[in-house]
Chain A
């Protein structure tokens, strides 16, 4: 898992976030550190300046001797400060009063430690290693903050304060920063790892399902997970895609099965007929007869094959339908013109009725074929002297074509089944046709986004085709 994890996007993301968090935390602490340090220095400097100014006042008011006494007093007081610091007396103070020749007049600070004793203003002084100074708490002092003040006539006053406290704070802050940084990195890495593992697990689930599907188990689906998140959405979409592929595959399989089933018989017949013809020597008329029959068989086969192919293309959506405007009453009139002769021959009264404005968009050839098949069916089953009505109309934005006959109708329980391929209700197969008529109607209507239903016409059958209407004037 660990080695795999290192190569994943999730790991890279977690790592990047940990680093970014670390950098951010460090930046914040550096800022805090310097701000605190500056504040601390400002406090120390203010204290030192106050002290120096106070002593300078003593000098100006009472002269050098008074200053000397005052410095001595401070030094003594400072030495006594063990463990009892007042709030203003933050830390050990050191004093040095230097004469015009640079001689030490008073103080507890060696001139050499004061660096350039001539310096005025503030400076950080690091104490040499051979000087051992301890602060009131007993901790050794490494460096001091020094403030020099010229008193006039060559006299200079130096006041210093141990930086122990400040350094201690700095050390604490630094330790805190390190700890926080470590904690941040740890939390970010652990969090990244845990989140990553969760994500990885879900990707692994998708990957595993894909593998199983590739392995041949097409019914497998990706578990959507408990949460309704992007992964669930992805899983849903992938599953929907798989469903569609599965449906297409099933449809293809069905077509293949049906082709195999329905073509096997006529193919066998065709082959047999030719074979038997060859068994004996015949005259050319007999050969002609056999060949003609074979051609008729082959034609039937080709027609069935074409119809199956068209339906398969329609069902699979691989056939792009033209978007021609079709005026349904005109289409109906054309079909009546075509099939009217057949109706007259059977003494069936074939009539159309409907408003002229009913238009749809689609493939005129396919819709003509569908309507033709419905009419053909009606003509086959309507007894002589019967009646067939074709009516067109509009209902709620839907274009309707209804074909009503006075035939025997179709029992309710069989109405769905007749749309399946190769289903015939007349077991004797007395009527001609390839058993694909109504299946083709359904395929065509479905492909046009419509619906075809069979209803009882009391007596007879009503085939109701509804298609999305495309009113005139709309592009």
Chain B
């Protein structure tokens, strides 16, 4: 992916850019709001990372201007404010996702990859496949190796989200947000319990596990045999 990173704190920008580049993405850096606007209008990017507080032009205004200019590149807001109200404001201004500082790099990476994949047609596909795991979204049925897996509604949505993001890392916060519709920090990692239950259903008894834990980041549903 080609990412335009608009962040005025040089150190943050540098480590984020390094991390993103090492994760295989192209990164353009911009430290000023108005320059960023010109850059975003001139060049095609897969995703924009916009700090809310920027010299030159405030992040919200920047994104509003972009949206007004019909630039539909997905935008992830970064903020130090971290208030729910701001989150809503950011999303209303045309942002697609929102991350409050301090955040984990893995969280940013996972969310960016999720955003970049937005245009992926798999969103509309009625049958999702990862390895021999199959999820029929119309009939709401899951099966692995032809063997039917009974899923509760919430488990179905969890698996659906993981499959839509197959091969990517999804964080616990992303799961809580996308599957349960809440955005807070649960004391215990309740998500882990759900994942382990799901794992018990889709991986137990099969030779190669599909649902992997990515340490320090979250989970990833992928077929290792596929890559090998």
Contacts and interface: CB of A to CB of B under 8 A. Distances in A.
A341 B187 contact: no
Interface stretch (B14-22, B28-36, B82-90): B82-90
A36 interface: no
Nearest to B154: A337
B70 to A, nearest CB: 30
Interface string A20-60: 00000000000000000000000000000000000000000
B102 A365 contact: no
B194 interface: yes
B190 A299 contact: no
B186 interface: yes
Nearest to A310: B82
B216 A307 contact: no
B183 interface: yes
Contacts of B88: 322
A339 B184 CA distance: 14
Contact of A342 (B176, B180, B182, B188): B188
B184 A365 contact: yes
B187 A434 contact: yes
B11 interface: no
A303 B188 CA distance: 12
A292 B186 CA distance: 21
Given A295-B216, A339-B190, A309 B82 contact: yes
B148 interface: no
A320 interface: yes
Nearest to B189: A432
B83 A334 contact: no
A341 B183 CA distance: 19
Interface string B193-223: 1100100000000000000000110000000
Contacts of B188: 342, 376, 379-380, 432-433
B184 A372 contact: yes
A341 B182 contact: no
Given A334-B180, A338-B190, A299 B216 contact: yes
> Which of B85, B88, B184, B194: most chain A Cβ within 10 A?
B184
B185 A368 contact: no
B197 A365 contact: no
Contacts of B194: 341
> Which of A313, A338, A434: most chain B Cβ within 10 A?
A338
A369 B83 CA distance: 14
A299 B104 contact: yes
Contacts of B183: 365
A302 interface: yes
B190 A341 contact: yes
A228 B80 CA distance: 48
A292 B185 contact: no
A363 B84 contact: yes
Interface in A305-323: 305-307, 309, 313, 319-320, 322
Contact of B193 (A320, A322, A342, A366): A342
Contacts of B176: 338
A365 B182 contact: yes
Nearest to A335: B182
B83 A305 contact: no
Interface residues of B, number: 26
B107 to A, nearest CB: 10
Contacts of A372: 184, 186-187, 190
Given A309-B82, A320-B85, A338-B182, A373 B216 contact: no
B215 A292 contact: yes
A328 to B, nearest CB: 15
A380 B82 CA distance: 29
B130 to A, nearest CB: 22
B122 to A, nearest CB: 26
A233 B84 CA distance: 38
A368 to B, nearest CB: 5
Nearest to B87: A365
A67 to B, nearest CB: 111
Interface string B143-183: 00000000000100000000000000000000010001111
Interface string A342-360: 1001000000000000000
A437 interface: yes
Given A306-B82, A322-B88, A366-B184, A341 B216 contact: no
A296 B85 CA distance: 29
A307 B185 contact: yes
Contacts of A309: 82
Contacts of B190: 338-339, 341-342, 372, 376
A306 B185 contact: yes
A85 to B, nearest CB: 98
A341 to B, nearest CB: 4
A296 B193 contact: no
Contact of B84 (A302, A306, A322): A322
Contacts of B103: 302
B228 to A, nearest CB: 21
15 contacts: A295-B216, A296-B216, A302-B102, A306-B185, A319-B83, A337-B154, A337-B180, A341-B190, A345-B197, A363-B84, A365-B183, A369-B184, A376-B188, A432-B188, A437-B187
Given A320-B85, A368-B182, A368-B184, 14 more contacts: A292-B216, A296-B216, A307-B185, A319-B83, A319-B85, A322-B84, A338-B182, A338-B186, A338-B190, A366-B84, A369-B186, A376-B188, A377-B187, A380-B188
